[in-house]
Structure 1
Amino acid sequence: MSASPRTSHLKSRNGCLRCKSRKVKCDERKPACQRCEGQNVQCPGYALNVRWSHRHQRQAGSGPSRPTSTAVWNDLLPQDGWPTPPTLPAPKDSAVTVLSPSSAASWASIQNSWMIGLDDSDLSMTLFDPLAATEGAAEATRPVALFGRRSLSPSPAREISHLPTALSQYFFSDVISLYCSWDSKSNIMRGIVETRWQSSSVLNHTIQSMAAACLSEDFPQMLAVARREHDQAMESIRADFPSSTTGRKDILLAYMLLGHTASWLAPQNLATDRFRASWNMLGSIMEDAPDDNAKTLSFFSDTMEYWAMLLVFLTDRRELGNFRRRPGAAMIGPSPSASASDTAGSIDEPHPYSGISRETVKLLTDTGILVFGYRTHMAKVRFMAERDLDIFRAALRDARRLERSFLAHVSPDLVQLRDPGDPQTPLEHLRLIDEAYRCTGLLQLYRVFPDLLSERYTPWCEASLLSPAPGSGRSSITPEERQAWLTKLALHVLGILQNIPFESRTRSVQPFIMVAVSSELRRKSAVCNSDRPRLGYPTISGRNSGDPTRSSLLADGPALDRDEIEVVKARKFIRARLAAYSHVLPLNKVQVISELLKAVWAALDRGEEEVYWVDIARDKGLRTMMG
């Protein structure tokens, strides 16, 4: 009897690493295949399958690259450039870096959450593999590959993995979730990158630069890799700027990421040149393809608004170029004058950076433009002139308009929003961030324009914070009353953040809020002054500390006010959360934020009047991206 013919079926060599190691069929779905999801394990991803041409990349020892094809794109690149990085101690294949045993031990401390749930056979092909504690001393003393794989059976040889592949895996498994305020399969930023990175040279180099920068704290060699990949991404833009809308979107996203994360490589680099180029590029795409994917274009425009919010408190409005000025700007997102209800109704899914705070982010951007410009001008005024009075009156009118907008703002109804599906960041966390943004904006206005607070001043009452009674203000309030009220508002904002657990991915947007309220955390004198009213502060949780005339906690020794203790606790809360953030996202820019906080509180503790964080950041050069 003849044997029955074997059923033929298509085979694929492009399955995920786990399915390939088991020699089973993989549906190749991204970011995770169905087989891995069905077994409740983390899909390790797919092998590198890059399909771009290398003809534009500069080879070692080759002459200068050809000039750019379009002169206008020369403006996209920074003029100063990165310092020449030291040569990595690597073999001829620069894609592999060898670590000493001590460095390899440090590698073991990196959070490899994507390895959890993998069995022994999966670990045999894992990209990020620390030394096992059970291996012998002779094994531990040998240098190991940075991205090597370890067989569970003793073997003298170690297979070296491809560094770009390892960095790409790390970007998708860790960096995106650290960078965004929420993350899941519905994250549009994740979706765009996962779809395009293997066919886009600029996106590929961009994500490897971001991944290497995140690893540079534990592995200093990675800083040179991050800079090299960054430069190669910029060279890809120079070499061949595409004419298709899809290609331009790849470059726009890469350029936004390169600009927003420039501070990862140089902490005080605000990359305003890349902001201007990104805004012009977005306007060009909008004009050429106004009917293109509305969801994608909305993502890009809201990204620009969030980026602008982080910049405008630290740099002059002119550094933003044509932001909101070019003719096509009106098509990008709702107008700043749109009502809160209209904005809330138009939001379908939270933005990966600004969450559900589209309207408050725009209001904060307008506030930053106003505050920075006004404070910078007034800092130069030695003798008041008529022009200075005109600037003051115009600024006060704009401040009143912004105050009314903040007070009238209504957060989007969570029932009408699509849950992003991130168990660590429910919609309630995004609502709390929106409330914190709103109160932070009011705090900036009341600090810089005291007349606004005088017009609405009544003793602190949290219930009436956002709905002051009309005509309830006084013609003048004492400096002590004003400072006490602002301190209570700052503590109220920090109380909102305290209600969000640190595990929430909104931690990536919280540094800006904490810095923006820091200059109101003034400690009162340790010695009681009977001429000054003792105004009670609320606790960080938002509750009032009780009798404002309460005596010192200590019967003997210097006076110690419990209200001052609440301020000290608030400072400790900020330090603790920022320190924890620096361990999750170990970047040098976090140190700049810490230095700014120290400078602000040192000025307050010296008894300086009218301390404001924007002034200190500008005067001391402590400017960095805080989101």
Structure 2
Amino acid sequence: MQSSSKVRHSKSRNGCVRCKAKKTKCDERKPGCARCEERGFQCPGYALNVRWSRRPQVRAEGSASKQSEAIGSPKRRSLSASPRAPLDTETLDNTYSNTEGSRQLNSWFGFSPHWDHPVPPDLSSLSTITDAMLGIQRPASALDSSTETTFLSSALDADNDHSSSPSNRQETPKDNLFAEASFPSEARLSGFQLPQRHGFFEDRNREILSMPISTALIQPNRDLSTQIPKELFNIPTSLSEYFFREVITLYCAWDSKSNVMRNIIETSWQSSGALYHTIQSMSAACLSEDFPHLLPVARREHLQALELLRQDSLPTHKQAMLLASQLLGHTSSWLTPQNLATDMFRTSCDILQDIMLETGRDATISFFSDTMDYWAMLLAYLTDSHQLGGYDRNSPFGPAESTKSDEPHPYSGISRDTVKILADIGVLVFQYRKRISKVKFLTENDIDVFRTALRDARKLERVLLAHRSPDLSQVKDPGDPKTPLKHLQLIDEAYRCTGLLQLYRVFPDLLNERYAPWDKDYLLRPLPSDKTPTAQERQTWLTKLAMHILGILREIPFESRTRSAQPFIMVACSSELRRNPQHLRSASVAVGDLDVLAIDPASIEVARARKFVLSRLAAYTHILPLRKSRVISELIDQIWSASDSGSTDVYWLDVAHEKNLGTMMG
């Protein structure tokens, strides 16, 4: 009997999947191997099971980094070798993005540093500000091609869509810069779990992780860092572009090529250090809600601009210095909401006086003068008059009447005269309320103060009643489709009525002299009163006036750039939106008490007016996400809480002072 020995097969590395699993020799015949066919199986085919080892690439990156350090410039070697120190503006784009931005980005993505590959040029269509803020690096070729492209192609467009603001970024087909149709479906990054982020970062992360990448990009490349040098996007340049594209349109009541503010900045920002750092600070502050690491940048740029403003004494830069001073003062509340920067107001007054002595009065001086009037109006209700220094609206600021521009002002529109009257009312009201709040026992001197204030208030009332808005046919249309002249006329009317509302609230005798049941047709043509109204009748009349003012604002669509002027008006009206006291009782009232449960139409209108104020302020905060916007909303909440708790004669100026919620409202 012949003994049979078991056939021995050598192991196979390159056989079909079944042969490799059984560790048997495979003849590797195609389309199927002989072993599978003899046993009646369908050959599963051939696949190479290879895992990528990172060790060679790690060694290559280590040697390449050492080589680059050896041949790098002295400046770069000193930056990498020196310990971390406070950043200055010259090294902002080189150090801040490379450290804080990249580490924050890695923490969001869960990236290992070894995955920090340069993005190839064909994927470099992201907006400049996006990459700069996130600390993303690109090769030099991508930088060269994208430097001249339009900034922020998918940035917020507050004028077209409310939902596209930085604080609520939603991906749409228009904004999707990495639509699949734009790239071939090659290998894609996979296996990464995105953290739950909100808003812009979530969409941005998803776009980056879904990008198609070339096979060559993930191949270990020993000379990767030397062949494609990594360079940082210039954050200051990005912030400057963002200022001209977005910030000006949010800051001004209208904007076009004829905007004096825009023209002055465009011609001076590169030659004036103070103005340059000012616009850097404003842009960084606007973006800090969605990019928190820009808040220190905004503060640092603000301080740098202030320092340069104190040092710069060149006569050729006087106008740029004045504009920088005005912007720094007005936007100090962007960084610290309660900072009214009255010192900057006084400094701006002094600079304006010097310029007028040197150059005389012209149309440009008119812009600066009207800016001071608008600024004074916002400050007058929140600070003592001595904080305004030598400001006097009757001083010879600005040009003569014959040389004044017929174009609306970028901040006050066509309301130059109305703004001055409102400023005077603010000074009078603040001083009077401050004096009366300290009176516990009335003296004859207090009576004299009251009589003087009432006499001044009566004069201001007559000026407002006699005021007529400029004839629109005589006003030059600035050419902003978002803000036609009609919107500016409505704002002027709202300003005038707001001034009357303040006078009638603080000085009830003025309302008593003209009281008649509410009729808006006779608001500006009052008749002598034939009766003295009760306190409740006066309150009802003031509530009707406040809702009339809000009705004027309702006629203006939110897309209008006059939205920047509306918060002051809404706050000034808020303390008059009082509910009927009987509707503020406990919710446990018996169901059978129909008299208590009944709601009159006036209360419904007040509720609607409150909702309008809240919705418009929320949209304003959404478009201009600054902390001062939230302070304004908090002030209104405090006003209504005090009113609804049963407090009588709640006045918004008193609440702002008591709760320390005064901020710039324009």
* CA apart distance, 1:525: 2.8
State whether residues 347 and 417 of structure 1, in contact with CA within 8 Å, keep that contact through their aligned partners in structure 2: no
Pair 1:103–1:581, CA change in 2 (3 A): farther
Percent identity, aligned pairs only, is 56
Q: What's the counterpart of residue 95 of structure 2? A: 93
The aligned counterpart of 2:371 is 303
2:552 is matched with which residue?
496
1:125–1:371 distance in 2 versus 1, CA, 3 Å:
same
Higher fraction of helix: 2
* Pairing partner for 2:501 from 432, 443, 458: 443
State the Cα distance separating 1:606 from its structure 2 match: 1.1
Q: Show CA shifts across 1:211-246 (max 9, x none).
A: 00000000110101101111111121233321x1x3
| Secondary structure in structure 1 of the residue aligned to 2:250 | helix
Q: Deviations over 1:79-101 (max 9, x none)?
A: xxxxx9999x9995336543427
Q: What SS does the aligned partner of 1:509 have?
A: helix
> Structure 2: which 5+ runs fail to align?
1-78, 111-125, 131-144, 155-176, 196-200, 218-227, 586-590
Quickly say closer, same or farther: Cα 1:331–1:218, change in 2 above 3 A.
Answer: closer
The reply on whether 1:248 has 2:326 as its aligned counterpart is: no
Distance 2:263 2:108 in 1: 34
> Secondary structure at 1:348's aligned position in 2?
coil
CA distance in 2, matches of 1:103, 1:572: 37
Match of 1:184, SS state, is: coil
The answer as to 2:447 corresponding to 1:377 is: no
TM, length-normalised to structure 2:
0.68
- Among 375, 380, 404, the residue aligned to 1:312: 380
* Distance across 2 between alignment mates of 1:490 and 1:110: 45
Counterpart of 2:654 in structure 1 is 615
Q: Which residue of 2 aligns with 1:216?
A: 288
1:287 alignment counterpart: 357
Q: 2:328 aligns with which of 258, 263, 267?
A: 258
Match of 2:235 in 1: 163
Q: Kindly report which structure 2 residues correspond to 1:155-194, keeping only aligned pairs within 5 A, or say none.
A: 160-194=232-266
Per-residue CA distance 1:331-359 (angstroms, 9 max, x = gap)? 4357xxxxxxx79x955000000000000
- Residues in 1 aligned to 2:235 and 2:251: alpha-carbon distance in whole angstroms: 21
Asked whether the 8 Å contact 2:129–2:239 carries over to 1, the reply is: no
Partner of 1:606: 645
Count residues in correspondence. 497
| Structure 2 equivalent of residue 458 of structure 1 | 516
Assess, with a 3 A threshold, how the Cα gap between structure 1 residues 61 and 236 changes in structure 2: closer, same or farther.
Answer: farther
How far apart, CA to CA, are the structure 2 residues paired with 1:487 and 1:110?
49
Distance 1:86 1:485, change over 3 A: farther
Aligned to 1:512: 568
Deviating more after overlay: 585-594 vs 94-103: 94-103
Give 5+ residue unaligned stretches, structure 1: 1-58, 63-83, 113-120, 335-341, 530-551
Task: Describe how 1:24-63 pairs up with structure 2 within 5 A.
Answer: none
Please list, as runs of the form range in 1=range in 2, the aligned pairs for 1:399-410 lying within 5 A after superposition: 399-410=457-468
1:329 aligns with 2:387: no
Conserved 8 A contact 1:283-1:329 = no
Residue identity matched to 1:218: D
Shift of 1:201: 1.2
Candidates 398, 414, 420, aligned match of 1:356: 414
Task: Tell me the distance in 2 between the aligned counterparts of 1:203 and 1:380.
Answer: 43
Going from structure 1 to structure 2, the CA distance change for 1:623 and 1:331 (only over 3 Å counts) comes to: closer
> In 2 relative to 1, CA 227–583 (structure 1 residues): closer, same or farther, beyond 3 Å?
same
Structure 2 match to 1:366: 424
The offset of 1:564, in angstroms, is 0.3
1:560 aligns with 2:562: no
Q: Which amino acid is 1:301 matched to?
A: S
Paired with 1:61 and 1:111, the residues of 2 have a C-alpha distance of 28
Deviations 1:12-41 (A, max 9, x none): xxxxxxxxxxxxxxxxxxxxxxxxxxxxxx
Pairwise CA RMSD: 3.8
Structure 2 residue aligned with 1:485, among 532, 541, 552? 541
Moved more, 225-234 or 492-501: 225-234
The C-alpha deviation readout for 1:133-175, integer Å capped at 9, x for no partner, is 759445988999xx99999984658863210110000000000
Distance 1:516 1:61, change over 3 A: farther
Alignment CA distance shift 1:91-1:329 (3 Å): closer
Q: In the alignment, which residue of structure 2 is the partner of 1:625?
A: 664
d(CA) in 2 for partners of 1:583, 1:176: 16
Pair member with larger Rg: 2
TM-score of the aligned structures, taking structure 1 as reference length? 0.73
- The DSSP-based 3-state class of the residue aligned with 1:217 is coil
8 Å contact 1:103–1:219 — kept in the other structure?
no
3-state DSSP class of the match of 2:510? helix
